[in-house]
Structure 1
Amino acid sequence: MTLLPVLAAAAVYPPSPSGPQVDDFFGTKVADPYRWLEDVDSAETAAWVGGQNKVTFDFLAQLPQREAIKQRLLELYNYPRHDLPFKEGGRYFYTYNTGLLNQPQLLMKDRLEGEAVLLLDPNTLSTDGTVSLTQWDVSPDGRWLGYGVAVAGSDWNEFRVRDVAARTDTADVIKWVKFSGLQWTKDSKGFFYSRYPEPQQAENQVFSALGNQTIYYHRLGTPQSEDVKVFATPDYPQRGWGASVTDDGRYLLIYGSEGTDTRNRLYYVDLQDPLKPDLSGPVVKLIDELEADYNVLGNRGTLLFVRTDLDAPRKKIIAIDLAEPARANWRTLVPEAPDVIETAIMAGGKFVINYLHDAHSRLALFGLDGAPQGEIALPGIGTVAGSGYTRDSGGLTGDLDDPELFFKFVSFIAPATSYRYDLATGRSEPVEVAKVAFDAALYETKQIFYASKDGTRVPMFITHRRGLKLDGSHPTLLYAYGGFDISLKPAYSPSVVAWLELGGVYAQPNLRGGGEYGREWHLAGTKERKQNVFDDFIAAGEWLVANGYTGHDKLVISGGSNGGLLIGAVANQRPDLARVAFPAVGVMDMLRFHKFTIGWAWTSDYGSADDPEGFKYLSAYSPVHNVKAGVQYPAVMVTTADHDDRVHPGHSFKYAAAMQAANPGAKYPTFIRIDVKAGHGQGKPVAKQIEEIADKWAFALHFTGMGAQ
């Protein structure tokens, strides 16, 4: 093992002037000296960003392993990636990346074994790869492609329409869309979508506060100004509304949510008659309270098949007949089981259910009457993983009356592979096998369970080279999330592979706050119980050290968004836990997060400092407010983007400024790496991903004292 040379110990940071801002929270005075950094477009903030980036990138440029890591990442990313197909209008559609394309292309085939035709290449929409394809769906007759694009990682989408045969765009353009899919009507003449009011010109259109989401219908060939308003609740501006159409085209389903609460309202419109220009059918409020999660899988006539966690924290499937909708008539078809139903679809006359068993997938089949019909064998411990576009239901695509099912499987050491499964014969075959420049046979993944501070049993995946000697010497990357009912499952990442090849161990615990064990597991990591998440993560780090995988001086902790909050809070609470910390695009100011863009929606998980009790527990762990002088923190590299409109970059700016001011001559520095022309992470060009990962791994190896193995 060759130790890296020691670079200059004390970084010289750009000045971060301390302002006079003090807020009063229920009689408690709280200083906010870096409030000025919330104005991301001011000359002062721009100068600060430029100065911080110069210091950070000057340091990173000195790291001797950075270039070699980057070159290896280029090799690891350079493999064909064939995403999950779906069938419409007699053709198959899927996204494909030849290797190092910044954005995947959208292809189509008449037959799976046939020649692919390029339908849309988002790489041609910008010179630097920062315009991404966010979602897409094909009309029932196969003539039209509706798709969304975003610029520089923004959550704002623009919807467009393409003639599939001609492969050219129509004049249809839909703007001011966020957090919405597009749903075609059965006649293929238009689609439903949700949008927000256009921000006033005086406002910053990127970071404007969001409210009054409204469902519209767009008829092809007409301007957006003529779109029909289908449903809105102006008296409740913080309710979010989304629409879907049943496969038979009969029902428009309207889903209503409040923030990130997983419970929802469920309304519908009967579209059985030919669609009227004014959509004058009545909106029926089938479920008009936030009591549970309801997701309609499909229908047979008036009978809706619904996945729900009503009286079933790990979810079940029920039948609701719209002809007799009283609750006394609801029937349970597939009851709650020990494993969580993560996703489910109807295909080939069956329910195909993706269960989550200790945070990894298993696929089970049931008849529409709920009778068990066996399981679909998976290649190993891994994930049936989704892609995020409209037709992809968590890694599954299929049609109720077609036996052809597709699913996508991925593990930590095997890239995603799409499989075709024949529900009539039980035959399974890969659509395309990815070939990567990595010998997976040299590595292994295991799952262990450890006890958190309060004794809760928490699972953790650990991946490393076979035959690893448990002598505490290995740099170990501990990555987690812990929030918003999101389950962290096995997934393949070239960045993790590069880390493993550098001699590292990769560990991924499933903290409370996620959805791995259903609603109760999620709620155990929310609001006043958020400390459970931090305790689970700290216990994971301690277990890795106690069991010889690593030492505190070799441990690297990482997380993004809500996971960035996790890393900031843990670094404050247990600065001795790890040597390196990577809080990415984190929610770092827990007293003001709800004042920016969509931040108010997160109060369902976090609570709010506008409430006395909320202020008490939020201020106790808010990363910005719990930085202390004279503490030896880990080497920290904060990462964010200058125009992240999901988690406002002011969070990361203020946290970095506070850390630098508290310990200006610390042995281990706090740097901030601020990407430009980028957002929260979605749609980030491959080239930008590689640059950032090379910087992180070189930084981590330097401060853990590890050289080439």
Structure 2
Amino acid sequence: MILRPVLLAMTLISTPSLAAPPQTVAPYPATERGTVVDHPFGLAIPDPYRWLEGDVRTDAKVRAWVDGQSAFTEAYLATLPGRAAIKARLTELWDFEKFAVPQLRGQRLFYRRNSGLQNQYVLYVQDGSAAPRILIDPNPWSKDGATALAEWEASQDGRYVAYGVQEGGTDWRTYHLVEVATGKVLPDAVEWGKYSNISWKGDSSGFFYGRYAKPEGGHLFTAGTLDQRVYFHKVGTPQSADTLVYAASDRPKLTHGLQVSEDGRWLVILSTEDDVKTELVALDLAKPGAAPRILIPYGDHELQFAGSSGDTLFVVTTDGAPRKRIVALDGTAPGHPVSTPLIAEGPGTIDSASIVGGRFLIGTMEDAKSVVRRYALDGTAEGVVALPGIGTAAGFAENGDGPLTYYSFASYNRPTTIYRYDAATNASTIFKAPQTPFDPGQYQVEQIFYPSKDGTRIPMFVAHRKGLDLAAGAPTLLYGYGGFNISLTPSFSVAWLDWMEMGGVVAVANLRGGGEYGKAWHDAGKLDRKQNVFDDFIAAAETLVSSGITRKDKLVINGGSNGGLLVGAVTNQRPDLFVAAIPQVGVMDMIRFTNWTAGRFWTGDYGDPAKEADLTYNLAYSPYHTIRSGTAYPAILATTADTDDRVVPAHSFKYAAALQAADIGPKPHLIRIETRAGHGSGKPTSKAIEEYADILAFAAYWTGLAPPAK
């Protein structure tokens, strides 16, 4: 996530030349300090950098500030020893064939593949036993590789694929259609999709999707989005002919996820306005003229659609089960049908559920690791799916009544492998396995548990090269998130592998606020309990130090989005505990986050700053507002992107300006701003490698980790 304009002059202090590693920097580019002060509920809240909320694409003053900061940061990063070697090795490690979980439709198999260093994954199709062929290749769509293939879905008969185009990292989508047999892109174009998936009607005549009205006033990347509506697009017709299927205009904050059941009978719509409370709406597509009905009203429960059988819908719910259970309900019953318990809450948290070969495959998290359990449709337990080890399994999509499906498996020391699974025999076989330029067997992963400030037992994964000498403490990257019911299960990262190859340790803490242990775990880290998340992360760092795995002067903390907020807040609370901090695309202004794009969805976790109690609590930890002048801070590299319309870059702009203005010591406090990139999805490989090379070089320098030999 970086801009590279013309370099400006930068003065380095305490270094004999640009070739020497810089310990301090000065002066930073000048940033105008305004006089804005807000007075909600009788408080006085200064916001001196309010002007940095302007759109970088249209506001010349903000553009000039971004150019100056980017040049300054680039000049600093260029002095870091081993940056070129780290990038070169990262490129080598990245260069292996990668696959995503396939989708089987009729006799056609669809999957995404990257040959190694392609900027974007390519969509392939395989007709029966024929050789795979390219169906959609987004790599020629733009010179910089920043135009991506986003959501895609094949029709039930495999005749068409509907797909979204993501331009420069934005959340906005334009949907197109391709005829699979010929590879011809049809004239159909559907605009203004956002926060939506695509789901085909059972007869393959068209697809359902969610969209917003065309934005007005030139605020495409900053304005809030309200009144999402579900439409049906018929193949071969203009968007103006699309049929409105469902809207809740009296509740314009709702956004709608949608899914057509595998038998084509039901369109299920799951609606939420804060990612916490959910409503289930169903439309019986077998009944002409039928209207969508609310089957489960909006309430304090999380819902997932798990499949159907005739009139019966199966739903995963937290109602009465913090770790989730599965219930059945009659979609034809009047009113709000009474649900029947089917699969009770178990020892693990249900993460996914589908019906394959006439039985349920239930993905659960048990101490943040995947366990996949099998059940008959009447709820009878039928054992587990044997997995390759400790890691994360994902996929298991339905395929009509057929027993075959596909899933992925990965861990911190294991790149993603794709498996074909036969539900009839409960057997897995490798479909695609990566041939890597490294030996995954040279790395080890363990899970430890530690007490947080209030005694809560927190899990943490620790990964490093086998045989690594920890006697003196090793340079360590500590990563966390802790929010929105999102779980950090084992995954593979080329950047983390590069760090481990150099002799570093990767630690991932499963903080409260996530979904690792269900609703209660999530609830314990949100709203007026958000401090628990920060305490959990601080305790993780203290555990890594007290156990001898690392030392304070070798510890770097990192997180993105809500994890960027985590890093910013914890840095302000315990700046003595880390040598460096890297908050990525963080939510840094906890007073004004609802003013932009997706911010309104976050009130379920953060509260609503329009309410006095919520604002007062948020103000106590808001990274932008709680920087502690007069205290020595670690080195900080914040990252953001100019087209991030999920967490708008103003969060990081204001935060960086406040850091640079504060008396927090001589270590560098920098911001890295990417062009034509967003919150993360769709980022081209070339930009990802550049960003991670900078992050790893920054972390390696401040922890004393030796970069790879050239």
- TM-score for the superposition, normalised by structure 1: 0.95
Partner of 1:245: 260
Q: Which amino acid aligns with 1:380?
A: G
d(CA) in 2 for partners of 1:515 and 1:244?
23
Correspondence list, 1:295-694, <5 A: 295-324=304-333, 329-385=338-394, 395-663=395-663, 666-694=665-693
Deviation of residue 448 (structure 1)?
Answer: 0.3
Partner of 1:184: 200
Say whether 1:151 aligns with 2:150.
Answer: no
Q: Which amino acid aligns with 2:218?
A: E
2:215 is paired with a residue whose SS is coil
In the alignment, is the contact (CA less than 8 A) between 1:10 and 1:667 conserved in 2? yes
1:7 is paired with a residue whose SS is coil
Q: Which amino acid aligns with 2:402?
A: D
Deviation of residue 497 (structure 1)?
Answer: 0.3
1:45 is paired with a residue whose SS is helix
d(CA) in 1 for partners of 2:228 and 2:354?
27
Partner of 2:232: 217
d(CA) in 2 for partners of 1:245 and 1:8?
57
Partner of 2:121: 104
Write the deviation string for residues 660-700 of structure 1: whole angstroms up to 9, x where unpaired: 00037x32110100001111111100000000111111111
In the alignment, is the contact (CA less than 8 A) between 1:215 and 1:242 conserved in 2? no
Write the deviation string for residues 619-647 of structure 1: whole angstroms up to 9, x where unpaired: 00000000122211110000000121000
Q: Which amino acid aligns with 2:667?
A: Y
2:27 is paired with a residue whose SS is coil
d(CA) in 1 for partners of 2:520 and 2:20?
48
Q: Which amino acid aligns with 1:507?
A: A
- TM-score for the superposition, normalised by structure 2: 0.95
Partner of 1:391: none
Deviation of residue 469 (structure 1)?
Answer: 3.0
In the alignment, is the contact (CA less than 8 A) between 1:258 and 1:601 conserved in 2? yes
d(CA) in 1 for partners of 2:332 and 2:188?
37
Coordinate RMSD, CA, aligned = 1.5
Partner of 2:78: 61
Partner of 2:283: 269
In the alignment, is the contact (CA less than 8 A) between 1:471 and 1:550 conserved in 2? no
Write the deviation string for residues 585-613 of structure 1: whole angstroms up to 9, x where unpaired: 00000000010111011011000221110
Correspondence list, 1:127-166, <5 A: 127-166=143-182
d(CA) in 2 for partners of 1:114 and 1:83?
19
Partner of 1:15: 30
Write the deviation string for residues 382-418 of structure 1: whole angstroms up to 9, x where unpaired: 0013xxxxxxxxx222325111121110011111011
In the alignment, is the contact (CA less than 8 A) between 1:482 and 1:513 conserved in 2? yes
Cα pair distance change 1:142/1:78, threshold 3 Å: same
Deviation of residue 86 (structure 1)?
Answer: 1.7
In the alignment, is the contact (CA less than 8 A) between 1:82 and 1:432 conserved in 2? yes
In the alignment, is the contact (CA less than 8 A) between 1:60 and 1:699 conserved in 2? yes
Deviation of residue 419 (structure 1)?
Answer: 0.6
In the alignment, is the contact (CA less than 8 A) between 1:446 and 1:461 conserved in 2? yes
Deviation of residue 7 (structure 1)?
Answer: 1.9
d(CA) in 2 for partners of 1:303 and 1:150?
36
2:304 is paired with a residue whose SS is strand
| Stretches of structure 2 lacking an aligned partner (at least 5 in a row) | 1-18
d(CA) in 2 for partners of 1:491 and 1:582?
20
Deviation of residue 325 (structure 1)?
Answer: 6.1
Partner of 1:206: 221
1:624 is paired with a residue whose SS is coil
d(CA) in 1 for partners of 2:248 and 2:377?
35
Q: Which amino acid aligns with 2:412?
A: F
Deviation of residue 331 (structure 1)?
Answer: 2.0
2:569 is paired with a residue whose SS is helix
Q: Which amino acid aligns with 1:349?
A: G
Partner of 1:697: 696
d(CA) in 2 for partners of 1:171 and 1:235?
34
Structure 2 counterpart of 1:75, from 88, 92, 114:
92
| Stretches of structure 1 lacking an aligned partner (at least 5 in a row) | 386-394
1:397 is paired with a residue whose SS is coil
Partner of 1:93: 110
1:539 is paired with a residue whose SS is helix
Q: Which amino acid aligns with 2:459?
A: P
Q: Which amino acid aligns with 2:591?
A: L
d(CA) in 2 for partners of 1:255 and 1:465?
43
Deviation of residue 297 (structure 1)?
Answer: 1.6
In the alignment, is the contact (CA less than 8 A) between 2:21 and 2:81 conserved in 1? no
Cα pair distance change 1:327/1:222, threshold 3 Å: closer
Q: Which amino acid aligns with 2:153?
A: D
Pairs aligned (count): 688
